[in-house]
């Protein structure tokens, strides 16, 4: 299977690989997927007082398309408000990366990861 240039670029030069302190109040962490299915994504966001995502990091276990989807997701959500980030659709990720049908689940997982990170952040602040 041939990968698109964009997938290859994100795979070879992934943006925002890394870790944010999950215990930090301003950080939301999403962990989605399952090792048994061959994809796990961890996506973290750091949100400032204005509700804007000022930093995002990811780590992904998965194929090139999964790595590219999560790399792209972190790139897109940086600088967005939580509300804006919440509207990112898996179809947009898939389209941007020209994912073939068998790889669409990678983009869905990336969307799930964004939602899960936002959810985690909101959970922390509801409790506080």
Partner 1 sequence: MVTRPIYLDYQSTTPCDPRVLEIMLPYFTEEFGNPHSRSHAYGWQAEEAVETARAQVAKIIHADPREVIFTSGATESNNLALKGVAQFYKAQKDHIVTCVTEHKCVLDSCRHLEQAGFKITYLPVQPNGIIDLNRLKDALTDRTVLVSIMAVNNEIGVIQPLAEIGKICREKGIFFHTDAAQAVGKIPLDVEMMNIDLLSISGHKLYGPKGIGALYVRRKPRVRLTALITGGGQERGMRSGTLSTPLCVGIGAACAMAQAEMGEEHARLCALRDRFYNTILSELEEVYLNGDFEQRIPGNLNISFAHVEGEGLMMGVKELAVSSGSACTSASLEPSYVLRALGVEEEMAHTSLRIGFGRFTTEAEVDMAAEKIIREVHRLREMSPLWEMSRAGINLKSIQWAAH
Using CB atoms within 10 Å of the CB of residue 123, give its burial: 0 to 12 exposed, 13 to 18 middle, 19+ buried: exposed
- In the bound state with partner 1, the residue whose beta carbon lies nearer, of 31 and 52, is 31
Of 57, 58, 54, the C-alpha closest to 80 is 54
Of 98, 108, 105, 124, the C-alpha closest to 73 is 108
- In the bound state with partner 1, the residue whose beta carbon lies nearer, of 7 and 88, is 7
Q: Given the residues 41, 106, 109, 114, select the one marked as catalytic.
A: 106
Q: How far is the CB of 121 from partner 1 (least distance, A)?
A: 18
106 is catalytic: yes
Which parts of this chain interact with partner 1 (CB under 8 A)?
A: 3, 8, 11, 14, 17, 19, 31-42, 59-64, 66-67, 102, 105, 108-109, 112
* DSSP conformation class of 52: B
Q: How far is the CB of 51 from partner 1 (least distance, A)?
A: 26
Helix ranges (DSSP H) in the chain: 5-12, 64-77, 82-86, 90-97, 104-127
Q: How far is the CB of 14 from partner 1 (least distance, A)?
A: 6
- In the bound state with partner 1, the residue whose beta carbon lies nearer, of 28 and 64, is 64
Active site residues: 37, 106
């Amino acid at each position: 299977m041939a990968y698109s240039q964009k997938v290859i670029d994100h795979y070879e030069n992934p943006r925002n690989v890394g870790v944010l302190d999950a215990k930090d109040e301003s950080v939301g962490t999403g962990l989605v997927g399952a090792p048994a299915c061959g994809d796990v994504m961890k996506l973290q966001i750091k949100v400032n007082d204005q509700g804007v995502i000022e930093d995002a990091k990811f780590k992904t276990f998965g194929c090139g398309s999964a790595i590219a989807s999560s790399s792209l997701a972190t790139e897109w959500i940086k600088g967005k408000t939580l509300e804006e980030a919440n509207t990112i659709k898996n179809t947009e990720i898939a389209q941007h990366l020209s994912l073939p049908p068998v790889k669409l689940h990678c983009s869905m997982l990336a969307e799930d990861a964004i939602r899960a990170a936002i959810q985690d952040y909101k959970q922390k602040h509801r409790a506080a």
